[in-house]
A and B are shown apart, each in its own frame.
Chain A
Amino acid sequence: MGHRENDHIDIVGRLLKRGVSRRDFMKFCTAMAATLALPAGFATKIAEALEKARKPSLVWLEFQDCAGDTESFLRANKPTVAEIVLDVLSVDYHETIMAPAGKQAEKSRDDVVKHQKGKYIAVVEGSIPTKDGGIYCCIGGRSALDIVREVCGNALATIAVGACAWDGGWPAADPNPTGAVGVKDAVRGITLINLPGCPMNVENLTATIVHYLTFGTFPATDSHGRPLFAYGERIHDHCERRAHFDAGQFVRQWGDEGHRKGWCLYEMGCKGPETYKNCPVIRWNEGTNWPVGSGHGCIGCAAPRFWDTMTPFYKRLPKVPGFGIESTADKIGAGLAAVTAAGIAVHGIARAVKGKPKEKETTE
């Protein structure tokens, strides 16, 4: 740890020492170009840029979180994306993986903020509680709100990883007892890249940083501040089971014939048709698989307020508010139809019993 901003990285040499060949490095650069939706020729540009890159310091803050994004960050396989990123970056503060503890740990964070103002990258994982002065998450006697404002406010840019750091995620789900918010609502006026998901995909974090190291800018984002290369396309439109959707072949029960044959999970409540992320394309764990590929519908974890809006996860439509928790739209529809039919029947009978109004009466 320390100030390594001027360190030149002999990245290829370092990787060779770790048993990662130049070929593997070039494969990584090509994969990054593909993830960023850049033409293949950019792989060499990325390689050149990474070889020349200076190590930016990285401060990884964790607040109301489950360390799931940290797991995702460290869970990459060989030739390890994480190793490459860790070699390019100087991770100066990360509670879960750093060696120092207590005051020394706090000092490494404060040093970065003090000595590298406006030059380091802040990564935030977890939501920030705001209720009751933010007392629900304190580190070293300081509230998360206080820390995030200082660290992100002085950073070159902030990358909010995971659903919680984006819009509050799980802790912000109704009734949100801690008044949890994401970075975008906790600190205003900063350069912020959001990588929502539960957890975020490490490939997208790596690609975002590689984009910065290659071009000196962060990737283009949508209205939610999410990079378009990762959140610009709908899961449903790139799903490997899409042909079964169009054909009308659906899983109707877990373990049924359709499920065994890999049919569409639409009827099982898959939220792929309303979620924007590149999961079907880059997949997870070095492209091994992804939720829909393994037979479970998408739960829309990269969508806004997903815990409140995408539930129930195993039904197509949300529950109807104010009609009791078990009501669904179709039950209400059937109820409306029954009331209408009954109303007409009663009216018709009453009309028959009373008899038609006489012409004389109606002329009055």
Chain B
Amino acid sequence: MNQRLRVYAWEFPVRFTHWINVLCILTLSVTGFYIGAPFIHAYSSKQYIMGWMRFIHFTAAYVFLMSVIIRLYWAFAGNRYASWKIWFPFSSDRWRDLVNAVKFYLLISRKPPYAVGHTALAGLTYLIVFLLFIFEIVSGFALYSQAHSGALWTLLGGWLLGIMHVQTIRLFHHLVMYVLLVFAVLHVYIAWHLDTVEKNGLMGSIFGGYKFVTGKEWE
């Protein structure tokens, strides 16, 4: 076994917002799916199922918005592994890493994409994921602003109603939920897959922040 280095990759705000996002996405998906297609039916008019679902959905939406704001702030204030620069494969090295990562995941290559922080492919994926987060937030507040007229909701999403038809917004708000859920499944599988290959404590790192690297990451 090679000598391994203990690196503090994921700072507290990164891990914190990650888990808040997990909770929010699960909550928003379940309640959002209910709002779209109510799968529980009340047996008494004293119940308040849709009311509660919408309350939880809207509250979780505000929490999610704050979490995304904190994470975006940390992309500028945090360490190099949290930086916004990691989202863009600008350099030729990063492009090569990206191609290697794709080859590895398709089982064409056996060389795993070593990185202390995100691999180039992961960085680009998170750029797309964050754009999808922002779309969900803006489209969600656009739908919300139908019943809540006010400058805040116009700013957060109401302006989208002037560009897209409300039914188109509703459709894409719904479809992007599926894309994010598919991402979540792939994300966990790939993390586990890389963890078993690289043995760098990747799965644990999102809890504790530390990764155990061998030095190959700097090659």
A333 and B178 within 8 A (CB): yes
For the complex, what is the distance from the CA of A84 to the CA of B147, rounded to whole Å?
36
Closest to A248 in B: B49
Given contacts A309-B167, A337-B181, contact A248 B50 (CB under 8 A): yes
Taking CB atoms, residues of chain A closer than 8 Å to B44 are 247
- B171 is an interface residue with CB less than 8 A from chain A: yes
Q: How many Å from the CB of A240 to the closest CB on chain B?
A: 13
- A357 is an interface residue with CB less than 8 A from chain B: yes
- A294 is an interface residue with CB less than 8 A from chain B: no
For the complex, what is the distance from the CA of A343 to the CA of B37, rounded to whole Å?
28
Closest to A334 in B: B178
For the complex, what is the distance from the CA of A344 to the CA of B147, rounded to whole Å?
42
A248 and B167 within 8 A (CB): no
Closest to B172 in A: A329
Selected from B168, B171, B177, B197, the residue in CB contact (under 8 A) with A357 is B197
For the complex, what is the distance from the CA of A344 to the CA of B187, rounded to whole Å?
11
Selected from B36, B50, B197, the residue in CB contact (under 8 A) with A317 is B36
Q: Which B126-146 residues have a C-beta within 8 angstroms of A?
A: 146
- Interface mask (A159-196 → B, CB under 8 Å = 1, otherwise 0): 00000000000000000000000000000000000000
A244 and B216 within 8 A (CB): no
- B59 is an interface residue with CB less than 8 A from chain A: no
- Interface mask (A334-352 → B, CB under 8 Å = 1, otherwise 0): 0011001101100110110
Taking CB atoms, residues of chain B closer than 8 Å to A244 are 45
B182 and A336 within 8 A (CB): yes
- A361 is an interface residue with CB less than 8 A from chain B: yes
A273 and B146 within 8 A (CB): yes
Taking CB atoms, residues of chain B closer than 8 Å to A304 are 165
Taking CB atoms, residues of chain A closer than 8 Å to B41 are 248-250, 252
Taking CB atoms, residues of chain B closer than 8 Å to A343 are 186
- B179 is an interface residue with CB less than 8 A from chain A: yes
Selected from A236, A316, A320, the residue in CB contact (under 8 A) with B147 is A236
Closest to A353 in B: B107
- Interface mask (B196-214 → A, CB under 8 Å = 1, otherwise 0): 1110000000000000000
B42 and A248 within 8 A (CB): yes
A336 and B42 within 8 A (CB): no
A344 and B186 within 8 A (CB): yes
B175 and A320 within 8 A (CB): yes
Label chain A's interface by main secondary structure. Answer: helix
- Interface mask (A232-252 → B, CB under 8 Å = 1, otherwise 0): 001011000001111111101
Selected from A273, A341, A357, the residue in CB contact (under 8 A) with B110 is A357
- B185 is an interface residue with CB less than 8 A from chain A: yes
Taking CB atoms, residues of chain A closer than 8 Å to B2 are 363
Q: How many Å from the CB of A57 to the closest CB on chain B?
A: 37
- A118 is an interface residue with CB less than 8 A from chain B: no
Given contacts A336-B179, A351-B193, A362-B216, contact A316 B42 (CB under 8 A): no
Q: How many Å from the CB of A196 to the closest CB on chain B?
A: 15
Closest to B165 in A: A309
B38 and A248 within 8 A (CB): yes
For the complex, what is the distance from the CA of A247 to the CA of B41, rounded to whole Å?
9
- A128 is an interface residue with CB less than 8 A from chain B: no
- B189 is an interface residue with CB less than 8 A from chain A: yes
5 further interface pairs, Cβ-Cβ under 8 Å (given A248-B42, A249-B41, A316-B170): A236-B147, A267-B37, A333-B178, A336-B179, A356-B196
A-side residues, CB < 8 A to B, are 223, 234, 236-237, 243-250, 252, 266-267, 273-274, 303-305, 309-310, 316-318, 320, 329-330, 332-333, 336-337, 340-341, 343-344, 347-348, 350-351, 354, 356-357, 361-364
Pairs across A and B, CB under 8 Å, 10 listed: A273-B146, A303-B166, A317-B170, A320-B171, A333-B181, A337-B181, A350-B107, A357-B197, A362-B110, A362-B197
Q: Which 4 A-B pairs have the closest CB atoms?
A: A248-B49, A333-B178, A248-B42, A357-B110
